[in-house]
Each structure stands twice: as C-alpha cells, then as structure tokens.
Structure 1
C-alpha cells in the first residue's frame, strides 16, 4: 500500500503510517530499528531495494531522505516536504517513508526525521553515496548508533579513507570493510591451521581498491608485518599471500565465486568466496550495533595495533 503526501509534515506522515497499518490490519510491532537512508534520486531505488531485502532479517522502519535540487527561483524560496508512505508488501517486512526535501527544509533534515524515529529503538544511518566527511558530526549521523558509508561510491577512495581515519567515532563503519568479512574469516582459519610465524604479506587487487587497502592495514596491525600492495587486473581483491618459514599461505580468487586456499605442505582446496550483494552487506551490519573495533584498527593500520599482536 502506498500513500502520497504533498507539502506535508511529520505529524501527517505518522498519521498516514497508522492509517496504512489499520487498512492492512498490520500492527506496529516487530520492527527492531529505524534505518535512515540519505541518498539522491538516482540511487534511491537500489538503496531502498537493498534495505527492503535486509528487512526480512531485520524488520525496520526505513526513512529515505532525498534532498531535491531547486530547479526554479520559486523552488529555491519555497520550503516544503513531500512524502511517500509504503506499508505492507511495498515495504518488505517493515514500513518505508520516502522523504523529498525542498528549499530550506533540506538544511534541517534531522528535524524532519526525528519525529519519525521508532521510539526506544536503535537508529542506523546509511549514506550509499555522498557521505559527509565526518559522519558522527553530521546532524543525521548524530541521531544514530551506527553510521554506514561506502568507500566504493567515492571518486578518490584513498583521500576519503584518510579523512575517515581522522574523523572516526565508535559506531562508524564502511561497506568496503564489510565486504572483507569472508576474506578475514578464511585468513583466520588458515592461520589457525598453519600455526606458524608470518614473516611477509601481500594483498593483490585492482588499483585504488579501498577494501584492499583496509585489508592490508588490518593485516599490518594484527600480524605486525609490512604488507605489499600488488596491483592486478582485478576485479576487487584477487589474492592474499602470507609468507612463513614453511612456505606461503595463499588465498587466490582471480575471478568468479570460488577461491583456492593453499597451505604449506597441504593440497590446495577450493572454497566459496563470492562477491556479495549490497542487501547482504547491510544485513550483516545490522546484526551488531556496537562499535566495530576491528574496523577502527583497520583504519589506523599499524598505528592502531595492540602491542604484541601476533595473529589475526
């Protein structure tokens, strides 16, 4: 069910949500958090679809904030809010409100969003594109326990990565880091099996890949070794090589959903290591809303390592 509201207010939006639930006979229970998506019109559909798919695991109220550009002088002086309320099958397992902000109200999106947050529930803010330099200090980011950005969506990921290091606050995370979860799990398992000292390391990936840089920094912090960045044709991260006094530990995924794991003195094994959809990444991030300490360590690289750390 969809309800369109023109030149509206937060109060009218809340009434429309109640109206929609009553019409469908759906109670306002079971939702565990509020997801705020701050995006543009071009990326709104894909972002909503990812959030809708993730809501099957994490039922939520999704607020999509779209700040519209003024097209005429009248648009620049006329401040108003249009909304689209979705409940039932049109909103996954929760409910969705698309908020289009015009004029001066665009500068006060937090005031629009605040009355629409679920009471006594965590808030997660996700910027699929155009994230602020300091997410925790952003007015919308300040409302959230968890703030999700994506280094894959920026033109200069290495510069933005350095800005993330300077602005990091507990609750910040990035989908470039989330994409590495299968790699990190496999590397940890391989090191548990090998039980040998790491003396060198290399991460192979396409040029300027932000996940590869985070992976290299994480390995430097946890293994206390220098990690070589090796440029390949990609796509994304293609291999990790860890040198030991017994031989190399290698996870190699040049393409496709399968990787090859090689341990010293053992036959190679084939493992599943697919590139995951955005909805899977979002669902993973919503499973934990506390501070991601490993992400903080990865941001800072060797500077963020604990003294004496010798394993992943």
Structure 2
C-alpha cells in the first residue's frame, strides 16, 4: 500500500500512520529499531529497497529523508509504504524541499518508535563530504542514535572520504565498506588460527588500491599483524583480488575468482581450498551493522590508527571509550 501526502507536516504523517494501523491491522509492535536514512534524490529508491530488504531480518520502521535544498519552495512531501512489499517494515519517505531539510531532527523526532534504538544511515558521501549539510542539520538526532552508518564506497574520492571519516569518528560510527570485508577478515583470522602457529613476517595485497574495502583491509592487517603491507594495483572486477601472508613455511594466499564465484585458499604443502566469494550486497552489509548496536572498537582502531600507518603516520593510543590521545 502506497499513500502519497504532498505538502504535509510531521504531525499529519504520524496521525496517518496511526489511522492506517487501526484500519488495516498493521502493528508497530515487534519493531526492533527505527532506521533513519538520509539520502539524496538519486540514491533514494535504492536506499529504500536496501532498507526494506534488511528489514526482513530486522523488523523496523524506516524513515527516509530525501534532502533537496536547491528547490525554490520550502515544503515537505511524504509517502507511506505499508505492507509486504516493504519487507517487515513500515516505510516513511519524506522529501525535504528547500530550507525544510535544514533541521532533520524536527522532521523525524515525532515519528521515532518509543523504547527502541535509533540508527542513522547516510547514503553516498553525505556523512563524509568536507561540508556535509546532512550532519549540520541532525541536531539532537545525532546524539540519540546508537549507530551512525556511512557508505564511503560511493564517495567521489573514497580515500579522502576515509580520512574525513577518521577525523569525525565518534563511538558508534560504522561504514558499509567495513561490513563488506568482514567475511574476508574472518577467513584470514581462521587460517592463521591453525597449526603451525608461525609468525607472519610480511603481507601483500593486490586489487583496486583506492577502494575503501582494499584500504580498510590493508589497515587492519598492518595494525593487527604489525608488519609492512605491500599494496599492488590490479585491474580487477572486485576490490580485493589477492591477499598473501608470508611466514617461514611459505605464503598463505587468498585469491578472489569472480568467474567461479569462489575464493581460492592456498596453504603451504596443502591442496587448494575453495571458499565462498566475499562480495556482499548493500542489504547484507546493512543487516550486519544492525545486528550489533554497541561500539565497534576494531573499526574505530582501524580507522584512526591503522589507516595513518599506510601513509607512514604515527601509531596513536586509544582510551577505553575509543577516543584517541
């Protein structure tokens, strides 16, 4: 069911949600969180589809705010999407035209579900652009959110976006590029957790060196292993084409093979093994970030301590709250 509400306000949207629940039997009970999506018009439909897919694992209310500051009029247009077509969620799409988008917190506060966490998701470079209008308009919403998820993969300059994310990092921040490599990180960790327990003396990576997934994995390796990581550019359909860890008995190598849909694991003196290829959809990455609402300390350390090491920067210590001193 799709209900259009042009030229409206938050209170009217809230009343219409209540009226539709009473008329159709839809219930807000069982929702585990409220996901607030901040997006631009060109990314809006994909963001709604991604959130709806993630809601099949995490029943939630999705509030999508489309920022359109260049519109000549100041107006709020809304659309309600209810029913099975949007997964286990109820979706509110709000187009904030003109100056209306300058105060996102006032637009969505009245629509947040009570007694459940709030998660923010910024599509594109809205969280990592040098002068982000979205961050400036969050107000108190940014403080009450349990998690703030960005997506530097779609930034114009992902490397610069990662630097900005590191500068602005606060406990609770996350990024879909980090979720994209979580299976690969687990595969590497599991491989090293098998005998013989030899020390890794060097690491090498090959792939798209400016992709955020590539750089985050390299930063994780250099921070976790304390060894130099050689980065090699390759024309690859996937961000990380190969990872090699050097030990006294030889190299442990993971090679992505998109054509076969597998990752080839090669260990010294053992037959080649085939593992699932680690490419994931945006919905799968978002679902992973919604499974845990506490601080991701490893991501914070990699962002603030690991990335500078790739550029020869200093290694900084972190206190218990994830703040770096």
TM-score (norm 1): 0.91
- Distance (whole Å) between structure 2 residues aligned to residue 177 and residue 305 of structure 1: 21
- Distance (whole Å) between structure 1 residues aligned to residue 68 and residue 226 of structure 2: 48
Out of 203, 207, 210, the residue aligned to residue 208 of structure 1 is: 210
User: Aligned in 2, Cα 1:90/1:267: closer, same or farther, shift over 3 Å?
Assistant: closer
The question of whether the paired residues in 2 share the 8 Å contact of 1:67 and 1:100 is answered with yes
Q: Deviations over 1:111-151 (max 9, x none)?
A: 11111111111111111113234887753433411011111
> How do 1:111-130 and structure 2 match up within 5 A?
111-130=106-125
Query: Which secondary structure state, in structure 1, belongs to the residue aligned with residue 202 of structure 2?
Result: strand
The question of whether the paired residues in 2 share the 8 Å contact of 1:40 and 1:67 is answered with yes
Alignment RMSD, CA only?
Answer: 1.8
TM-score (norm 2): 0.88
Q: What is aligned with 2:230?
A: 228
Out of 95, 112, 130, the residue aligned to residue 100 of structure 1 is: 95
Could you list the runs of 4 or more consecutive aligned residues of structure 1 that deviate by over 4 angstroms after TM superposition? 134-138
The question of whether the paired residues in 2 share the 8 Å contact of 1:147 and 1:172 is answered with yes
- Distance (whole Å) between structure 2 residues aligned to residue 94 and residue 117 of structure 1: 13
Q: What is aligned with 1:258?
A: 262
Matched, 1:292 2:296: yes
- Distance (whole Å) between structure 2 residues aligned to residue 99 and residue 49 of structure 1: 15
- Distance (whole Å) between structure 1 residues aligned to residue 51 and residue 3 of structure 2: 19
- Distance (whole Å) between structure 1 residues aligned to residue 71 and residue 191 of structure 2: 56
Q: What is aligned with 1:42?
A: 42
Query: Which secondary structure state, in structure 2, belongs to the residue aligned with residue 104 of structure 1?
Result: helix
Matched, 1:24 2:24: yes
Matched, 1:282 2:277: no
Query: Which secondary structure state, in structure 2, belongs to the residue aligned with residue 198 of structure 1?
Result: coil
Tell me the matched-pair count. 301
- Distance (whole Å) between structure 2 residues aligned to residue 136 and residue 222 of structure 1: 31
1:304 Cα deviation after fit: 5.4
What are the ranges of 5 or more consecutive residues in structure 1 without an aligned counterpart?
A: 307-312
What are the ranges of 5 or more consecutive residues in structure 2 without an aligned counterpart?
A: 310-314, 319-325
